[in-house]
Structure 1
């Protein structure tokens, strides 16, 4: 990961993370209040049970008084309390879980919306798998915090308070003795949080690396197999997986030491304290068996929620680490360029001007140096040059994918930073060398969720770019489902679909990024016919790989190491005998060699 993104690995303070997580609960405060009231009611009903049993033992069983009516009332009261506690606890748990799921739903929407606003400079350098891990795995861990931790913690804390209230009701002195165990439990929790946070942070990071490696391997599986890199990729995957396993195992050992065993030891000591107290008291005066039963029962009930909380403390720690990673991403300020200034400007003619534009991706090495050119309405300008000369960078800046630090770009005489994204992106049509096709039917891929484009317009766009004939031959026509990235279609068919997608929006400016680079000769003829129709009446900027395809361009810019070194028409540049002339001769020679080899 690049230096400027390393802060995304730095964990946030848990207090800050917890406060932000709780802020997501504010819209649901009414239902939370209802759930809390039910929780207190259910807990109170549950805690009254041992007191009724204490009354039965001390007031009826020990003195052998068995009056039917009082015993019946006591028995019915105990059953009603039990049923009331069950109903209230079920309802409050259901409410807490429903609220938790709504909170996670909103959190996922927020983080995905944030990712969509990030500039392309972020995606250039942040691993895709790591990003997916934060949106899916980390939010899933946060969901566990709300679903299985927060509700349990709230319920058990209320229950513990109720236990101590009941203990003080039975015996104040012994209840005060039992308070001594609370600091020990608190110390165990703090020790666990301190050591486990490091292990869980390492686990989350290794899981992100695993996802990144899986994503990279699957996306590039053809390269992996053709270059026989399976063994190397497998070893690298095993190494990261082993590191993830080791971090996980450290956390398991910590869980085994500080969770259940430590709490069990404290519970045994507390039980010894209570029994010793009653034993000493029995030497001087008689003790009430009902009080002894109730105290032992409450002590057992006290450690049951403590054990539940301790066991979920590991989930809590994982969730806090994951939430910190999510919030780090949400706080990232590498936002894509947006509109500046007031007023609403519209693109009507499509005239373009680059004025003294210098640009760098990393802030160190300039990939464009003092670029100046203009394109009039309806003209076609072609960009040519060797790989890395800056052609795609010009397109990226025109599409406003990156911030411009030096120089300005104008459309219709207005700086592009004064157009809002909706106007800019709707009037600029981009066709890439490797078109992206989504899972779904053909109509969906051409329309792209724009429901203002009806089926007739979809078909007309396909006819316009000569995609209609091959679509009609498909078994289900425009309703044919495409696989991931359109893998069942040829590169030429995918390109024609991207043409139709662009023309369905009727852009004023057409941007072609080596649109014919990956297609065969026969398909190229069809595509060239489509391109010729698409360019009519539109300002066009074309990155050209094959120079023979741009002979009719109004102007050709030759780029070399980020600078425009030549400009003119096809014939003018050939007559100059410069870099363009050399490139043209090399391609002509290659084409002649291909013709000879075919013959």
Structure 2
């Protein structure tokens, strides 16, 4: 079974993780303080209730004296305390709930922002479902902690302190005996955390793998059904699901043993201690029934918050594990290459120069070896070669998707590392072989959030690549809705929209990854005409699989095993009768074959 890995694993203690989580509450400190004040008031009114009952028993019930004013005062006071306790609790719980939603909203935005800055190498080795699980399931577990665990722990600890104070006020010796319950309870909680942490880690890992398999299956449903892979996928999904079930079942077993049953046993022992204490004293002293009632009531109320906290240890432990997984992403140092230096150079002419560039994805095997070439402004440089020859890697370095490890790339004589991301993305237009469209409409997919691009420029770009023909045929024209990944459009239509998207930016440099591979012959001819106009005055780097599309390139680079083995124009390379010549003959033969 596949394993979940994000490579970078921070080493952090549970206390450090909890402190880091609590720091997200600092911007809401006023809300926290107000909620804590309400919590203290709720605790005080709750703890005072048994005191009134004690007074009633000792002063009025045992003497059988029930003066009306006193009864009204005690009854009204008790009722007022109950109502006040309920009101304060509702208010403080509501504040904690709102606080939890605000904190998780902040954390999710921060996590999503971090994901946007991670390098493509990170995404190359990380399944999408794993990331989705951390952005959704793990943050949801943290939300549960803030909404139920945090408020419960703060409230119950406050109640426990209030109960202990009341116990000491009634009987110091017996309260000291009961004080032993605190370290026992804390020890049980710590023991529970220690033995359940690995279980929760396994459960969260299995859940991430479950999401990864689900995401892969849904995205590849067409292939799965076409290749009749449903039984295999069901078996694989069932295996992962069973592993997740086993991890959760182990967690359930530990909860059944260490939570409520164990604390109920301790409660019975404590109750026996109190009854023994008062029974022993009854032989030599008069037993105050009111104090006995108050102690038994306080003991019951003591274990109510303890049991409540023990029950929520399950959520707390899940939240701690999920927090570690979330912080693992937030602390991941594998960021996309960033601008170096304080200057902000501008791309004007678009001259590209590779100077002895070598690159490796894994740090061991070079996929590019000593690549050197210059693309002058207005020139078209084509990259050709067999699969795995290094064409896409060359383009990825130019777009600064990956850092240049050895050698140097310059644009207009300025090192690529000195340009800002905004300058590179605005001045370098990219058209991929498999275009990606977003949910929205036609206009938003061409504009891509660039508000400075007007509606007129959007339409001009569409007309430039001759996409206006099918756009005008839509009932809503440029406002026609587009589904996820453009599923309602043909492959050729999606490609034309990606062309229009690039032209709307009016870039100085074009990067084309077999841009016409997905369109029909008639559309390809129209796009080739548009490409000729697009390339005029712009530097163009084109990855080509069909050699017929780049015969007019100013320079063709033939890559083989990461090296440039041939370079020249189409006619010059044919005259050399080398690798390019053999590739051309092979494609011509394939085209001519019946």
**Fold equivalence (TM over 0.5):** yes
* 1:31 corresponding residue in structure 2: 31
Task: Please report how far the alpha carbon of residue 366 of structure 1 lies from its aligned counterpart in structure 2 after TM superposition.
Answer: 0.6
| 1:453-532 equivalences in 2 (<5 Å) | 453-532=453-532
Task: Please report how far the alpha carbon of residue 307 of structure 1 lies from its aligned counterpart in structure 2 after TM superposition.
Answer: 0.7
Superposed CA offset, 1:479-509 (max 9, x none): 1111111111111100000011111111100
Task: Please report how far the alpha carbon of residue 6 of structure 1 lies from its aligned counterpart in structure 2 after TM superposition.
Answer: 5.8
* 1:581 corresponding residue in structure 2: 581
Give ranges in structure 1 of 5+ residues lacking alignment.
Answer: none
* 1:407 corresponding residue in structure 2: 407
Task: Please report how far the alpha carbon of residue 532 of structure 1 lies from its aligned counterpart in structure 2 after TM superposition.
Answer: 2.1
* Higher mean C-alpha displacement, 217-226 vs 233-242: 217-226
* 1:451 corresponding residue in structure 2: 451
Inter-partner Cα distance in structure 1 for 2:5 and 2:269: 50
- Counterpart secondary structure, 1:382: strand
* 2:394 corresponding residue in structure 1: 394
Inter-partner Cα distance in structure 2 for 1:256 and 1:515: 60
Superposed CA RMSD in Å reads 1.6
Task: Please report how far the alpha carbon of residue 13 of structure 1 lies from its aligned counterpart in structure 2 after TM superposition.
Answer: 2.0
| Counterpart check, 1:51 vs 2:86 | no
The answer to whether the 8 Å contact 1:11/1:324 transfers is no
Change (3 A) 1:342 1:215: same
Change (3 A) 1:414 1:587: same
- Counterpart secondary structure, 2:91: helix
**TM-score of the two chains, using structure 1 as the length reference:** 0.97
Inter-partner Cα distance in structure 1 for 2:4 and 2:377: 40
- Counterpart secondary structure, 1:284: coil
The answer to whether the 8 Å contact 1:11/1:325 transfers is no
Change (3 A) 1:2 1:220: closer
- Counterpart secondary structure, 1:36: helix
Task: Please report how far the alpha carbon of residue 10 of structure 1 lies from its aligned counterpart in structure 2 after TM superposition.
Answer: 6.8
The answer to whether the 8 Å contact 2:2/2:209 transfers is no
- Counterpart secondary structure, 1:341: coil
The answer to whether the 8 Å contact 1:390/1:559 transfers is yes
Change (3 A) 1:120 1:7: closer
| 1:362-441 equivalences in 2 (<5 Å) | 362-441=362-441
* 2:90 corresponding residue in structure 1: 90
Task: Please report how far the alpha carbon of residue 208 of structure 1 lies from its aligned counterpart in structure 2 after TM superposition.
Answer: 0.8
| 1:284-363 equivalences in 2 (<5 Å) | 284-363=284-363
* Higher mean C-alpha displacement, 253-262 vs 547-556: 547-556
Task: Please report how far the alpha carbon of residue 219 of structure 1 lies from its aligned counterpart in structure 2 after TM superposition.
Answer: 1.5
Task: Please report how far the alpha carbon of residue 7 of structure 1 lies from its aligned counterpart in structure 2 after TM superposition.
Answer: 4.5
* 1:272 corresponding residue in structure 2: 272
Superposed CA offset, 1:218-247 (max 9, x none): 112222222222211211111111111111
Change (3 A) 1:200 1:368: same
Inter-partner Cα distance in structure 2 for 1:351 and 1:216: 41
| Counterpart check, 1:258 vs 2:258 | yes
| 1:105-184 equivalences in 2 (<5 Å) | 105-184=105-184
| Counterpart check, 1:15 vs 2:26 | no
Give ranges in structure 2 of 5+ residues lacking alignment.
Answer: none
Inter-partner Cα distance in structure 2 for 1:3 and 1:310: 32
Task: Please report how far the alpha carbon of residue 68 of structure 1 lies from its aligned counterpart in structure 2 after TM superposition.
Answer: 1.9
Inter-partner Cα distance in structure 1 for 2:504 and 2:2: 38
Change (3 A) 1:119 1:12: same
Inter-partner Cα distance in structure 1 for 2:208 and 2:5: 15
- Counterpart secondary structure, 1:370: strand
- Counterpart secondary structure, 1:44: helix
The answer to whether the 8 Å contact 1:12/1:328 transfers is no
Task: Please report how far the alpha carbon of residue 9 of structure 1 lies from its aligned counterpart in structure 2 after TM superposition.
Answer: 5.7
Inter-partner Cα distance in structure 1 for 2:55 and 2:524: 93
The answer to whether the 8 Å contact 1:11/1:321 transfers is no
* 1:219 corresponding residue in structure 2: 219
Task: Please report how far the alpha carbon of residue 62 of structure 1 lies from its aligned counterpart in structure 2 after TM superposition.
Answer: 1.4
Task: Please report how far the alpha carbon of residue 313 of structure 1 lies from its aligned counterpart in structure 2 after TM superposition.
Answer: 0.3
Task: Please report how far the alpha carbon of residue 3 of structure 1 lies from its aligned counterpart in structure 2 after TM superposition.
Answer: 11
Task: Please report how far the alpha carbon of residue 35 of structure 1 lies from its aligned counterpart in structure 2 after TM superposition.
Answer: 0.8
- Counterpart secondary structure, 2:269: helix
- Counterpart secondary structure, 1:558: strand
The answer to whether the 8 Å contact 2:430/2:511 transfers is yes
The answer to whether the 8 Å contact 1:441/1:481 transfers is yes
- Counterpart secondary structure, 1:408: strand
Task: Please report how far the alpha carbon of residue 518 of structure 1 lies from its aligned counterpart in structure 2 after TM superposition.
Answer: 2.3
* 1:196 corresponding residue in structure 2: 196
Task: Please report how far the alpha carbon of residue 8 of structure 1 lies from its aligned counterpart in structure 2 after TM superposition.
Answer: 4.1
Task: Please report how far the alpha carbon of residue 4 of structure 1 lies from its aligned counterpart in structure 2 after TM superposition.
Answer: 12
Task: Please report how far the alpha carbon of residue 348 of structure 1 lies from its aligned counterpart in structure 2 after TM superposition.
Answer: 0.7
Inter-partner Cα distance in structure 2 for 1:560 and 1:20: 50
Inter-partner Cα distance in structure 2 for 1:168 and 1:407: 76
Superposed CA offset, 1:361-408 (max 9, x none): 111111111011101111111111111111101110000000111000
The answer to whether the 8 Å contact 2:353/2:411 transfers is yes
- Counterpart secondary structure, 1:559: strand
Report the count of equivalent residues: 594
Task: Please report how far the alpha carbon of residue 70 of structure 1 lies from its aligned counterpart in structure 2 after TM superposition.
Answer: 2.3
The answer to whether the 8 Å contact 2:142/2:323 transfers is yes
* 2:101 corresponding residue in structure 1: 101
